[in-house]
């Protein structure tokens, strides 16, 4: 396969468009499978891990003070309005490590999937006892039963991270959600690659989860950093702190070329350049950088993804073939719009219901003169057909919705199907049912027209 940038340059003359390349053609999606892993699913830390990890979520109290008593901090949806907290029915700290919401997925081709657990409990400060884990899942689409077949714990015994980590003084140096916020993953040969939001960084590990390298992000020949980058510090006296990436808007999705030669990490938010966020005609756009796997370096090239609405976020990014890929674009709402609050926010209604949850097919080869990738079309995750009654929960009269705030997983399964999963933000999301913590849901969608669209 040719690198994407060569295909782009070779076809540029014939595909120049007048403005940003985007389309809004909707394609049908049919529910073909529905797997569920209960939110209250936990794994034990490794036997040689510090005692710190026997429980998790000890630093999630509002005042940030340690709380050791299990199940003593009530979980509430982080989309609750002030004075109208919506409980989730779960409480911290947990005994063990949660197999909570997934922020990256890879179909392994044999019916199993590798999933990346989100970094912890929402921030760098409250996640030092949350271990970074990758799980292998076995899913029986006929029964809906999904199970964790294997768990890998990321670690840095060779001291590749150039800054102090939580387990600095230990032998295995297990990595935590206070060290990195890994949001996407790829498997290439005998290596795993992770897109991180704190740096943003690209992390490289072996297949056991041992860190081999850490790469800082580069765009237009310049290193770009978030406020959580290890080299960014608060000044001694009041003054500006320089960074280009908003907190929690680093590498959210990261695709790989089908031959494994390049990675394409996608920022979740626009970059701050020239004193403003990057926009095109008032609309925010995101950078898709290019990383040469063999060289272990960014190439300096990047593409642009135009958001449908300012403030939308990205969930995941995986390639379909040499030039086309899948990107989740979503709003920041959760829950059925029909159960949205009609007056003042309250605990018995969704004050920010889900409305925009889409998967776009994009094409690098049809990018315009400014580098904006073409949006070939989309499927709507709030309008999924279920004529066969496949849904375990959430189905109604032949329709199924995926009304979660953070839908962060999509990958191609075969020529007709994609898999999609949510990050359930344990214990801070209740988009499926009021007052109940969301489970980890994985859905198989039949979308042949969408995958073959040009």
pLDDT, tens only, 115-143: 999 999 999 999 999 999 999 999 999 99
Per-residue pLDDT averaged across 232-240, rounded?
Answer: 93
Q: What is the pLDDT of residues 279-308, one digit of tens each?
A: 999 999 999 999 999 999 999 999 999 999
Query: H-type helices in 151-233, by residue range?
Result: none
Per-residue pLDDT averaged across 28-55, rounded?
Answer: 98
pLDDT at 386: 98
Do 245 and 200 contact (CB within 8 A), yes or no? Answer: yes
pLDDT at 22: 45
pLDDT at 142: 92
pLDDT at 258: 97
pLDDT at 24: 72
pLDDT at 4: 52
DSSP H or E segment with residue 161: none
Greatest Cα pair distance in the chain: 65
Per-residue pLDDT averaged across 306-318, rounded?
Answer: 97
CB atoms within 10 A of CB 219: 20
pLDDT at 320: 98
Per-residue pLDDT averaged across 179-189, rounded?
Answer: 98
Q: What is the mean pLDDT of the chain?
A: 94
Residue-wise burial string across 282-293, b where 16 or more C-beta atoms lie within 10 A, e elsewhere: eebbbbbbbbeb
For the CA atoms of 121, 125, 129, 134, the dihedral, rounded to the nearest 10 degrees, stands at 50
Report the candidate in 319, 233, 226 with the shortest Cα–Cα distance to residue 268.
226
pLDDT at 10: 40
Query: Tokens in use for 416?
Result: 């007709």
Do 10 and 426 contact (CB within 8 A), yes or no? Answer: no
Paired residues of 199 in beta bridges: none
What proportion of the chain, given as a percentage, has pLDDT over 70? 95
Contacts 24+ apart (CB under 8 A), 217-221: 217/245, 217/250, 217/251, 217/265, 217/289, 217/298, 218/289, 218/297, 218/298, 218/300, 219/244, 219/271, 219/287, 219/289, 219/298, 219/302, 220/300, 220/302, 221/300
Confidence at 274, pLDDT banded by 50, 70, 90:
confident
CB atoms within 10 A of CB 10: 11
Q: What is the pTM of this model?
A: 0.94
Report the candidate in 349, 321, 323, 354 with the shortest Cα–Cα distance to residue 337.
354
CB atoms within 10 A of CB 29: 25
Per-residue pLDDT averaged across 92-107, rounded?
Answer: 97
Provide the 8-state DSSP code for 392: S
């Amino acid at each position: 396969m040719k690198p994407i940038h060569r295909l782009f340059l070779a076809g540029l003359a014939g595909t120049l468009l007048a403005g940003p390349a985007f389309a809004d053609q909707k394609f049908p999606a049919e529910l073909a499978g529905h797997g569920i892993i209960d939110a209250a699913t936990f794994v034990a830390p490794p036997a040689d891990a510090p005692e710190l990890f026997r429980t998790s979520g000890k630093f999630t109290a509002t005042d940030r003070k340690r709380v050791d008593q299990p199940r003593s901090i009530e979980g509430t949806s982080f989309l609750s309005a002030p004075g109208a907290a919506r409980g989730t029915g779960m409480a911290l700290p947990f005994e063990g490590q949660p197999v909570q919401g997934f922020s990256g997925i890879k179909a392994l081709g044999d019916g199993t999937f590798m999933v990346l657990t989100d970094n912890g409990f929402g921030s760098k400060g409250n996640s030092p006892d949350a271990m970074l884990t990758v799980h292998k899942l076995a899913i029986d689409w006929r029964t809906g039963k999904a199970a964790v077949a294997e768990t890998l714990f990321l670690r840095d015994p060779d001291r590749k991270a150039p800054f102090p980590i939580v387990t600095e003084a230990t032998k295995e140096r297990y990595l935590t959600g206070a060290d990195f916020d890994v949001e996407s993953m790829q498997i290439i040969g005998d290596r795993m690659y992770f897109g991180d939001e704190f740096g943003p960084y690209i992390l490289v590990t072996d297949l056991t989860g041992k860190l081999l390298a850490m790469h800082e992000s580069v765009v237009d020949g310049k290193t770009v950093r978030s406020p959580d980058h290890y080299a960014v510090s608060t000044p001694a006296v009041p003054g500006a702190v320089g960074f280009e990436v908003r907190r929690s808007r680093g590498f959210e999705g990261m695709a790989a070329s089908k031959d494994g030669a390049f990675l394409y990490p996608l920022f979740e938010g626009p970059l701050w350049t020239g004193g403003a966020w990057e926009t095109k005609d008032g609309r925010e756009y995101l950078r898709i950088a290019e990383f040469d796997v063999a060289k272990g370096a960014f190439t300096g090239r990047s593409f642009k993804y135009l958001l449908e609405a300012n403030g939308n976020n990205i969930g995941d990014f995986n390639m379909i073939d040499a030039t086309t890929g899948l990107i989740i674009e979503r709003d920041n709402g959760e829950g059925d719009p029909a159960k949205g609050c009609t007056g003042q926010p309250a605990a018995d209604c969704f004050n920010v219901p889900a409305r925009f949850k889409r998967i776009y097919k994009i094409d690098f080869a049809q990018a315009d003169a400014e580098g904006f990738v073409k949006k070939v079309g989309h499927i709507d995750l709030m309008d999924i057909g279920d004529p066969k009654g496949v849904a375990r929960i959430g189905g109604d009269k032949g329709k199924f919705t995926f009304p979660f705030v953070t839908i962060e997983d999509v990958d191609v399964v075969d020529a007709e199907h994609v898999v999609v999963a949510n990050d359930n933000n344990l214990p801070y999301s209740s988009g499926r049912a009021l007052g109940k913590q969301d489970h980890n849901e994985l859905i198989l969608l039949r979308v042949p027209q969408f995958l073959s669209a040009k």
